[in-house]
């Protein structure tokens, strides 16, 4: 088992980083009822850890006995029948799913499937709370129509169901949904908090950490606890005992994006654009989020640019990121940014060197 799972806090009492939030959640569930909740914050901040610890606090060990189901649904949409396949994780007390996986058909997931799940109370509560919990991930990626349907579901089935929503940015969640939830901001952990967790894991694993080694991993993690723990385990696999000047290996996909940036800088041509497109596809099919790819690609390109071009390139990166949020096919917009960059950079080289 990876350390990131092995040392994940299972109960609210054992949460180290966000102990203040955990304490408030304990008080919340000690009452008879619990409101709908919206957890939001950057990736790797600990939202899912808090949610799973909260479920165990509410329902006991049964909340950890989950099974994965890949179920096909047929939904009657007026003149046609829509077939959707949805993966869910469920226990006796809760169901976890990602409705945005359905893309532009996400409203049917909310209107039919979530509504169907929300209707049903747990059959045997054994003195536990008499409602089922639906955990919905990435609600900030849901369409407006899906979010409006979600609001109606929250109102209509509040007696038998509680929703726990999870997202990176609450600004992309409609006000109607936000106002019906208790909003919980989960900040990215500080470097000192990350160091504390790494030292805790090192102690449990019986490792000797050189002075400043955990701090270097924390600085390299960009305040993502998940990333820091993964990097720590990678360092252990690559070389132990640790040395004071041991390198922190970059993630494979980050190294790949760095290579793509070098390809773009070295040649600007339709042939090179076609090559870059294939590499971008490779990243997307390996589930690297498109916004993260674009952000990292911009960062790598800016390292290689003259200062007079940086402002213009940042402008176009923001432009295509906005277009990507509005559209469906991320590859089109990342590729368009690469083509625009090639055009600007080639024009700059011609103007400078002739």
**Model confidence, pTM:** 0.76
Question: What CA–CA distance (Å, rounded) separates 149 from 175?
Answer: 13
Of these ranges, 80-94, 171-185, 298-312, 332-346, the one predicted with the greatest mean pLDDT is 332-346
pLDDT tens track for 104-114: 677 777 777 77
- Average pLDDT for 210-230: 84
CATH superfamily of 3-185: P-loop containing nucleotide triphosphate hydrolases (3.40.50.300)
- Average pLDDT of every residue of the chain: 82
CB 160 within 8 A of CB 119: yes
pLDDT tens track for 53-62: 888 888 788 7
Residue 241 has φ and ψ, to the nearest 5°, of: -65, 150
For 4, 255, 276, 299, 337, the CA distances from 261, given in Å and listed in that order, are: 30, 10, 9, 9, 12
- pLDDT value at position 338? 92
The answer on pLDDT for 166 being more than 80 is yes
- pLDDT value at position 127? 47
Q: Which residue has the higher pLDDT, 110 or 298?
A: 298
Question: What CA–CA distance (Å, rounded) separates 260 from 275?
Answer: 9
Q: Over the chain, what HEC string results?
A: CCHHHHCCCCCHHHCCCCHHHHHHHHHHHHCCCCCCEEEECCCCCCHHHHHHHHHHHHHHHHHHCCEEEEEEEEEEECCEEEEEEEEEEECCCEEEECHHHHHHHHHHHHHHHHHHHHHCCCCCCCCCCCCEEEEEECHHHCCHHHHHHHHHHHHHCCCCEEEEEEECCHHHCCHHHHCCCEEEECCCCCHHHHHHHHHHHHHHHCCCCCCCHHHHHHHHCCCCHHHHHHHHHHHHHHCCCCCCCCCCCCCHHHHHHHHHHHHHHHCCCHHHHHHHHHHHHHHHHCCCCHHHHHHHHHHHHHHCCCHHHHHHHHHHHHHHHHHHHHCCCHHHHHHHHHHHHHHHHHHHHHHHHC
- pLDDT value at position 354? 65
Q: Which CATH number fits domain 252-353: 1.20.1050.140, 1.20.272.10, 2.130.10.10, 3.20.20.80?
A: 1.20.272.10
Domain definitions of the chain by residue range: 3-185, 191-238, 252-353
Question: What CA–CA distance (Å, rounded) separates 44 from 42?
Answer: 6
Q: How confident is the model at residue 120 (pLDDT cuts 50, 70, 90)?
A: low
How many degrees, rounded to 5, is the angle at CA 201 between CA 287 and CA 57? 75
- Average pLDDT for 75-94: 76
Question: What CA–CA distance (Å, rounded) separates 354 from 349?
Answer: 7
pLDDT tens track for 309-354: 888 899 999 999 888 877 778 889 999 999 999 998 888 888 887 6
């Amino acid at each position: 088992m990876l350390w990131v799972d092995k040392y994940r806090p299972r109960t609210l009492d054992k949460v180290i980083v966000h102990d203040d939030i955990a304490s408030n959640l304990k008080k919340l569930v000690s009452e008879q009822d619990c409101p709908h909740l919206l957890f939001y914050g950057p990736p790797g901040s600990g939202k899912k850890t808090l949610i799973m610890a909260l479920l165990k606090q509410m329902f006991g060990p049964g909340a950890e006995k989950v099974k994965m189901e890949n179920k096909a649904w047929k939904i009657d949409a007026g003149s046609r029948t829509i077939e959707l396949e949805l993966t869910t994780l469920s226990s006796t007390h809760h169901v976890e799913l990602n409705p945005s996986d359905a893309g532009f058909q996400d409203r049917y997931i909310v209107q039919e499937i979530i509504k169907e799940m929300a209707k049903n109370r747990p059959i045997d509560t054994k003195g536990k709370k008499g409602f089922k919990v639906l955990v919905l991930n990435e609600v900030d990626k849901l369409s407006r129509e899906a979010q409006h349907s979600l609001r109606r579901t929250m109102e209509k089935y509040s007696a038998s169901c509680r929703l726990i929503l999870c997202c990176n940015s609450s600004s992309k969640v409609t006000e109607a949904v936000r106002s019906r939830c208790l909003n919980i901001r989960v900040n990215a952990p500080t470097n000192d908090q990350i160091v504390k967790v790494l030292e805790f894991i090192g102690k449990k694993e019986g490792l000797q950490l050189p002075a400043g080694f955990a701090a270097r991993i924390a600085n390299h993690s960009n305040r993502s606890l998940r990333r820091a723990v993964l990097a720590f385990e990678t360092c252990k696999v690559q070389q132990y005992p640790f040395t004071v000047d041991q390198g922190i290996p970059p993630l494979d996909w980050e190294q790949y994006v760095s290579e793509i940036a070098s390809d773009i800088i070295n040649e600007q041509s339709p042939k090179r654009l076609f090559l870059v497109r294939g590499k971008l596809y490779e990243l997307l099919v390996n589930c690297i989020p498109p916004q993260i790819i674009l952000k990292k690609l911009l960062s790598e390109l800016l390292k290689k640019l003259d200062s007079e071009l940086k402002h213009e390139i940042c402008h176009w990166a923001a432009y295509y990121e906005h277009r990507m949020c509005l559209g469906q096919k991320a590859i089109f917009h990342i590729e368009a940014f690469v083509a625009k960059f090639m055009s600007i950079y080639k024009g700059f080289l011609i103007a400078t060197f002739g």
